[in-house]
Amino acid sequence: MFYSPILLSINEWTSFFGRFHPLLVHLPIGFLLLIAIIEILKISGKLEISSDFVKISLFVTGLMASLACVVGYFLSLEGGYEEEMLSEHKWQGIWMTIFCWIAWSSKNDWLTDKIGINTVFYIPSLIFATLMMFVAGHHGGNLTHGENYLTENTPTLLRQWFGMSEKKNNDKLSERTKIANVNDAMVYQDIIHPIFKEKCEQCHNKNKIKGELRMDDISLLQKGGKNGVIFKANNIAESEFIKRILLPESDEHHMPPKGKNQVSENELSLMKWWVEEGASFTKKVSQLAVNESIKPVLATLGGGMGVAVSSNSIVKQVKFEMEEKLLTAEVDAIDNNVFEEIKKSGGMILPLSQNTNYVELTYLNNAKFADNDSKLIAIAPNQTLWLKLNNTQITDKALTEVSKLSNLTRLHLQNTKITDKGLDQLKTLQNLEYLNLIGTSITDTGLQRLALLKNLKKIFLWKTKVSQVGAEKLKKSLPNLVIDLGMTEQQIATLLKAKADTISDDVYKKK
């Protein structure tokens, strides 16, 4: 479609002036309230004031109200508002302006003489203008902040007096009701939706539909907005709402907008985990894979995860001290060209938090990533704290590049083709605290090569060739290390049998 430069220019100017509506609309409100108070005091005999002051105030009120109507119309052209309420708000504002001008005309001697406007219209028009102001203001607030914005924080005593429903505790994350058993919680309804409700729905609801996107209804959320769907299951890189959150707060496309209540690190972790695990709207936490990084975040939502720990695991709360220390230090920002190179290679660079330049480099969505691409691993050697190469095609050769990441604290190598020989190259990673080797061919011999990593706190060795003896030997070199060997097939069978016996006993007791 062809757009002329003149049309584009008009769109730019109307959008620019439209944003002044919230500023201009408060001026006539203030003047109108002042005039109403003056008239009440005059009628009660408690104030004497010049008629000219009232006339000038009414003129300013009418002028500002007219300007507010014009720029309000410009603002409405951007779209994103519920049509019926927008129409009501528009006409309420117009009628308020008309009544303001009638009140001014009724107060003006020259007009009453020339046109014949009777002064009897003054008080009624002033009353109607004031009423329209309150109604239009209420609907404007609903359009901007949501339908229940003015009443959602009504004190309990007033709610009881007016017969209002009790205030919900899940409107804010800090007030959200604790989840008794996180494993039984519905991932979307109980965990993700409350975040959307607090941080997103203010601009994406039935009354205000910014970007033609609604997030208060599952079917409409799945449909997306004017730019298409906002998330793609199992793919963070293609999930638009995650990318918007990760943009700098100063960026005009950052969400939530600057000045609004921002998404916390824990909330971002939960949303990324939800997308990675398929963005389901019907599954419980227990039906999704819960990795070690998301466990503590989920635990903050309620009374614990209730996750079974194998007999071969050493149960201990791990604190990643080196990581915490690094996150308090300053580091240069990554060049934009680096982001583009990683994106082209099928990887992602994700900020670890909003106020740091440290990042996570991940190739979770590129299973074909191999040694030929490995030079990109060390493209941001100082900023990379987390590296995820799990389920890729890398071999020991790629670990040469991994060894260059001097600040690396967490490394995921599960289900790759690395061997004992490759672990020799990790000795330079003296800040490494977390290592995942699940599903690799590592043996007791290779494991002992990790004894030089004095800050290593946790290692996962499920489905490897490491034995209990080999794990205990490494433990002697690194006393603070938590080793998780997982469960053998025999242990799993025993556990399932015990669970089945317990269920049978319960059924028998009920009978």
Residue 17 in any domain: the answer is yes
Residue 511: which pLDDT band, with cuts at 50, 70 and 90?
very low
Q: How far is CA 467 from CA 429, 442, 462, in A?
A: 24, 10, 10
Same domain, 229 and 115: no
Instruction: Report pLDDT for 136.
Output: 85
> Please, which residues have CB within 8 angstroms of residue 150's CB and are 6 or more apart in sequence?
138, 141, 142
Tell me, yes or no, whether 381 lies in a domain: yes
- Residue 405, domain extent: 321-490
Sign of the alpha-carbon torsion through 324, 330, 332, 336: positive
pLDDT at 213 over 70: yes
Confidence label for 81 from pLDDT (cuts 50, 70 and 90):
low
- Whether residues 74 and 205 fall in one domain: no
Tell me what percent of the residues of the chain surpass a pLDDT of 70: 78
Both 361 and 466 in one domain: the answer is: yes
Residue 134, in any domain of the structure: yes
Residue 499 pLDDT more than 50? no
User: In terms of pLDDT, which residue wins out, 59 or 76?
Assistant: 59
- The answer to whether residue 463 is domain-embedded is yes
- Of 20-29, 165-174, 309-318, the range with the lowest mean pLDDT is 309-318
- Give the residue with greater pLDDT, 389 vs 346: 389
Query: What total number of domains does the chain contain?
Result: 3
The verdict on 381 and 450 lying in the same domain is yes
Q: Which residues of 125-151 are buried (b: 16+ CB within 10 A; e: fewer)?
A: bbebbbebbebbbebbebbbbbbeeee
CATH number for the domain that contains residue 400:
3.80.10.10
Tell me, what's the pLDDT at 492?
46
What is the pLDDT, as a whole number, of residue 149? 59
Residues 444 and 345 in one domain: yes
User: What does residue 116 show for φ and ψ, rounded to 5 degrees?
Assistant: 90, 25
* Residue 146 pLDDT level (bands cut at 50, 70, 90): low
Q: How does pLDDT run across 243-261, given as a tens digit for each residue?
A: 888 776 667 777 887 767 7
Distance, in Å, from the CA atom of 12 to the CA atom of 208, rounded to the nearest integer, reads 21
Whether residue 463 sits in one domain with residue 345: yes
pLDDT in tens, 439-479: 899 999 999 999 999 999 999 898 899 998 999 999 999 99
H or E element at residue 423? helix 420-423
3-state SS of 384-414 is EEEEECCCCCCCHHHHHHHCCCCCCCEEECC
Mean pLDDT is highest, among 37-46, 224-233, 307-316, 415-424, for: 415-424
pLDDT tier, 139 (very low <50, low <70, confident <90, very high otherwise): confident
Q: Please indicate, yes or no, whether residues 350 and 286 belong to a single structural domain of this protein.
A: no
Q: Are residues 453 and 341 in the same domain?
A: yes
pLDDT band at 304 (very low <50, low <70, confident <90, very high): very low
CA 471 to each of CA 308, 426, 478: distance values in angstroms, whole numbers, following the listed order: 20, 18, 10
At residue 186, φ and ψ (nearest 5 deg) are: -75, 125
Q: Is residue 166 part of a domain?
A: no
d(CA 141, CA 136): 9
Average pLDDT over residues 155-182: 60
Mean of per-residue pLDDT scores for the chain: 80
pLDDT of residue 174 exceeding 50: no
- Do residues 425 and 455 share a domain? yes
Structure tokens at 275: 């997308």
Residue 507 is assigned to a structural domain of this protein: no
Are 328 and 289 found together in one domain? no
- pLDDT by residue (tens digit) across 363-387? 877 888 999 989 999 999 999 999 9
* Percent of the chain residues topping a pLDDT of 90: 25
In one-letter notation, the amino acid at residue 298 is L
DSSP, res 190: I
Q: Judge whether 309 lies within some domain.
A: no
Neighbours of 329 (CB within 10 A): 9
Is residue 506 one of the residues assigned to a domain?
Answer: no
- 326 and 475 both lie in a single domain: yes
pLDDT over 60 (residue 4):
no
- Rounded to an integer, the average pLDDT of 34-55 is 85
Residue with tokens 């998404």, as numbered in its chain: 263
Q: pLDDT at position 148, please?
A: 61
pLDDT at 264 over 60: yes
**376 and 475 housed in the same domain:** yes
